[in-house]
Amino acid sequence: MSVSVGYLAIGDELLDGRVNNTNLTYLSTRFSELSLRVESSLIVSDAPEDIKQGLDYYIDNVTILVITGGLGPTEDDRTSAVLANYAGYPLVCNEDVLNEIKKFFESKNRPFYESNAKQAYFPDSASIIPNSIGTAPGFMLSIRSTLCLVLPGVPREMKRLVEDSCLPFLRQQYELPVIKTKTWITFGMGESELFDRLNGLYPLPEGISIGYRAHFPEVHVTLKSSESLFPKLLVSQIDELLSDNIVAKDSETFISAVANKLIDQKCSVSTAESCTGGLVSQLLTSISGSSRFFNQAFVTYSNQVKCKALGVLESTLSTYGAVSSECALEMLQGLVEQTKSEYGIAITGIAGPDGGSQDKPVGTVYIGIKTPQHSKVYHHQFYGDRQQIRLRSAYYALFYILKT
**Measured between alpha carbons, how far is 64 from 143 in angstroms, rounded to an integer?**
10
What pLDDT score was predicted for residue 93?
97
Both 231 and 375 in one domain: the answer is no
What pLDDT score was predicted for residue 226?
81
Number of domains in the chain: 3
Residues 6+ apart with CB under 8 A from 266: none
**89 phi-psi bin (left φ>0, alpha ψ -120 to 50, beta other):** beta
Cis-peptide, bond into residue 361, ω within 30° of zero: no
Q: What is the pLDDT of residues 181-215, one digit of tens each?
A: 899 999 999 999 999 999 999 999 998 999 999 99
CATH number of the domain that residue 376 is part of: 3.90.950.20
Both 18 and 126 in one domain: the answer is yes
Neighbour count for residue 393 (Cβ, 10 Å): 26
What pLDDT score was predicted for residue 35?
85
Both 158 and 43 in one domain: the answer is yes
Both 168 and 232 in one domain: the answer is no
What pLDDT score was predicted for residue 33?
83
What pLDDT score was predicted for residue 1?
63
Neighbour count for residue 4 (Cβ, 10 Å): 16
Both 245 and 137 in one domain: the answer is no
**Measured between alpha carbons, how far is 36 from 33 in angstroms, rounded to an integer?**
7
Both 310 and 235 in one domain: the answer is no
Nearest residue to 71 (alpha-carbon basis) of 158, 5, 3, 142:
158
What pLDDT score was predicted for residue 227?
78
In terms of C-beta density within 10 A (0-12 exposed, 13-18 middle, 19 or more buried), how is residue 384 classed? middle
Both 164 and 29 in one domain: the answer is yes
| 245 alpha carbon, distance to own chain's centre | 19
What pLDDT score was predicted for residue 355?
94
What pLDDT score was predicted for residue 387?
97
Structural domain boundaries, residue 221: 179-252
Both 19 and 145 in one domain: the answer is yes
What pLDDT score was predicted for residue 230?
87
**Measured between alpha carbons, how far is 153 from 158 in angstroms, rounded to an integer?**
6
Both 209 and 319 in one domain: the answer is no
| 61 alpha carbon, distance to own chain's centre | 31
Q: Which of 159, 174, 189 is the last residue of a domain?
A: 174
3-state secondary structure the chain: CCCCEEEEEECHHHHCCCCCCCHHHHHHHHHHCCCCCEEEEEEECCCHHHHHHHHHHHCCCCCEEEEECCCCCCCCCCHHHHHHHHHCCCEEECHHHHHHHHHHHHHCCCCCCHHHHHHHEEECCCEEECCCCCCCCEEEEEECCEEEEEECCCHHHHHHHHHHHHHHHHHHHHCCCCEEEEEEEEECCCHHHHHHHHHHHCCCCCCEEEEEEEECCEEEEEEEEEHHHCCHHHHHHHHHHCCCCEEEECCCCHHHHHHHHHHHCCCCEEEEECCCCCHHHHHHCCCCCHHHCEEEEEECCCHHHHHHHHCCCHHHHHHHCCCCHHHHHHHHHHHHHHHCCCEEEEEEECCCCCCCCCCCCCCEEEEEEECCCCEEEEEEECCCCHHHHHHHHHHHHHHHHHHC
Residues of the chain with pLDDT under 50: none
What pLDDT score was predicted for residue 285?
98
Q: Which of 222, 252, 282 is the last residue of a domain?
A: 252
Both 198 and 320 in one domain: the answer is no
Both 163 and 183 in one domain: the answer is no
What pLDDT score was predicted for residue 180?
87
**Measured between alpha carbons, how far is 270 from 272 in angstroms, rounded to an integer?**
7
Both 202 and 281 in one domain: the answer is no
Partners of 348 in beta bridges: 366
Q: Which of 235, 252, 269 is the last residue of a domain?
A: 252
pTM comes to 0.82
CA distances from 214 to 13, 185, 238, 260 (A): 25, 10, 18, 24
